[in-house]
Amino acid sequence: MKKIAFVFTQGPHGTSAGREGLDALLATSALTEEIGVFFMADGVFQLMPAQQPEKILARNYIATFGVLSLYDVDQCFVCEDSLKSRGLSAGHEWVLDVEPLSAAEIRGQLAGFDVVMTF
């Protein structure tokens, strides 16, 4: 089986990239257990709880990240450098359990995957 990484770099609102990435991630989880999920750049905002997308007439899918463990997706990482540059800390409460890593550590982790899909 190929190891597949999903990298979220877009914020949760303004584009459908996050929702499409999550849909692809859930569909792929039925085919392989070798999945890694990475949140970098503005993608770290995908992890923020208590978002209110209905106020901008958007669909709420963020909470769905919280059920990834039910799909046996447990390799989830967030970029510490991206958090810091956006005024967030690794100790923040997220919708998903993520392991904070530096940008260099994330590059090292991504090198171990056969396929990297970016959303």
Q: What is the reported pLDDT for 34? A: 95
What per-residue confidence (pLDDT) applies to 70? 87
| E strand or H helix at 107 | helix 103-110
Task: Give the residue ranges of the chain where pLDDT is below 50.
Answer: 53, 56
Which candidate, 45, 56, 60, 38, places its Cα nearest to that of 107? 38
> Which residue type does 96 have?
L
Gap between the Cα atoms of 23 and 29, Å rounded: 10
**What domains, with CATH codes, occur in the chain?**
4-49+57-118 (3.40.1260.10)
pLDDT of residue 51: 67
Q: Tell me the three state secondary structure of residue 118.
A: strand
Between CA 18 and CA 102 the distance in angstroms is 22
CA neighbor of 40 nearest in space, from 8, 13, 1: 8
